[in-house]
A and B are shown apart, each in its own frame.
Chain A
Amino acid sequence: MKIPVILNQKKIVLEAEPSEKLLVVLRREKLYSVKCGCGKGLCGDCTVLLDGHPVPSCTIPVGMVRDCKIITLEFFQTFPIYSDIISGFAQAGIHLCGYCNAGKIFTAYEVLSTYYRPDREQLYSAINMFDCCCTDRDTLANGILYAVAAKHTREGRHKNVKK
């Protein structure tokens, strides 16, 4: 079956069975930032941005993503907000293990793009959505808060303040 999608901002047609997992199809496209973890949507290793929101690609049949926008970590690295997240993580002492990077980074992205200044509850409800294999929740929360600060610095902290 031919499934048209916008993958990393390029219009392409995926050749796959509609019931195949998006994870499998993306790895076949040699997008290896999408890792195979639990296969149950718990661990976050296979996270991608689907129409701007992080989703576990292991629980999504590829037939459901027709005409959707998919962004993987390979392409996300070109976004300025990626640098904010990485610098925030570094400040918090988070070392990326390589296997659950997508889960951590896209979770941070979701928080950063949803809330201007996330509170503790918002932060932890986003973090609790996945089971990170290498970083504890408090450290990850700190990393996201540092990333928020880095984003504000880059965008200009007072850009919305009326003169």
Chain B
Amino acid sequence: MIFDLLEAFNENSLVLYLFVIGIACAAGGIPPMIERNRRRGIENQLPGLLESLSDAVGAGRGLQEAMLEQGRNTPGILGKLLTETLESSHASSFDAALSAFASKTRSSQVQRVVVLIDTAMEQDAPLQNILSDLAMDYERLNDLMNKRETELAGRGILIILFVCIGLPVLIAFIVGLFAPAASGFQIANFNSTFSTFFALASATGALVSGRMMGRARDMLWWIPLWMSTSMLLYLGAVKMIGG
């Protein structure tokens, strides 16, 4: 059945190539999504951790001791990474352990915070105030990032639904109804031109949707799949309706 279905699109080899490339690329698109979720999870926990550290330092504890304690108390991946790194750094210095922790999180927010803490320690700066300021700064930043993501995610999905699915099906319906191939209309060239247009329009739509949410690079992996989907939908619907 699958081969019969693929046979139906033999005249449009581009769609078949794109479909195969699309499936392969989709597999490449999953790891960035997982990584992003992990990173955002860490970044959303960061202000809470900084605030607790500020309180602990204010109560007279050393930063290392406070970090180890807060790491144990913080649920999720941030606490786990912090505890793991500090506990495993028996022979190395605290600075080295902090740097290792920052690079393990793979988050630019955490790395910036660690650099600042490191510099503040070197300069004997008031850590309590710095940690509290950083907590507030990053809380506001994460709130904004989350707001942008939640408000624009719906619109991004709408663009993909409209441009990659709605548009090809709508035009296929019109073409299939008014110029059916079964009635002798010569629409092979016409279909080829329009399916290419839908593929390019889908690529544009998917890229715009990704850019809106600030993840255009991650979206690049999904573009071939959306291009082939819109082509398949158009060509399939024209065949189904117009014969």
User: Does B associate with A?
Assistant: no
